[in-house]
Amino acid sequence: MDSIHDDTCPSFEATLELVGRRWTGSVLHAAGRGARRFGEYRALISGISDRLLSQRLKELEAEGLIERTVIPSTPVQIHYRLAPEGQELVEALMPLGRWSMRRSGTRGPGWVPVA
């Protein structure tokens, strides 16, 4: 039997820690539902503070999961969208989301699966 500390374990643990941070799943879910501007994320994620939303978007951008585009207009517009790896992660998390909803027997307010 192989050790659980094989080459894939640290990478998998890092991914679980990233996704498991407070509000990260909600930010990814909002992006998957089409949120593009900061205000759209705030509207879709009930209870998240501006500070924490900004922090999570920056973290996800640094990880290559969210792409940030600055549109030089007056006022400046900033758009966010899932990067290809972010889309892959959302798709990989969908079965886990469905499992957790079945397990809890609820679908929570506003829960919509991301296709």
Domain borders along the chain are: 8-104
pLDDT of 50: 96
pLDDT of 4: 62
Side chain identity, residue 23? W
Helix (H) or strand (E) holding 81: strand 77-82
If one compares 109 and 93, the residue with the highest pLDDT of the two is 93
Residue 49, Cβ neighbours under 10 Å: how many? 10
* pLDDT beyond 60 at 108: no
CATH architecture observed for domain 8-104? Orthogonal Bundle (1.10)
DSSP secondary structure, 23-34, as one string: THHHHHHHHHTT
Residue 32, Cβ neighbours under 10 Å: how many? 21
pLDDT tens-digit readout, 44-82: 999 999 999 999 999 999 999 999 999 999 999 999 999
Q: Given the structure tokens 């939303």, which residue do they identify?
A: 53
* pLDDT beyond 70 at 91: yes
* pLDDT beyond 60 at 110: no
pLDDT of 100: 86
pLDDT of 115: 47
Mean pLDDT, rounded, for 13-18 = 88
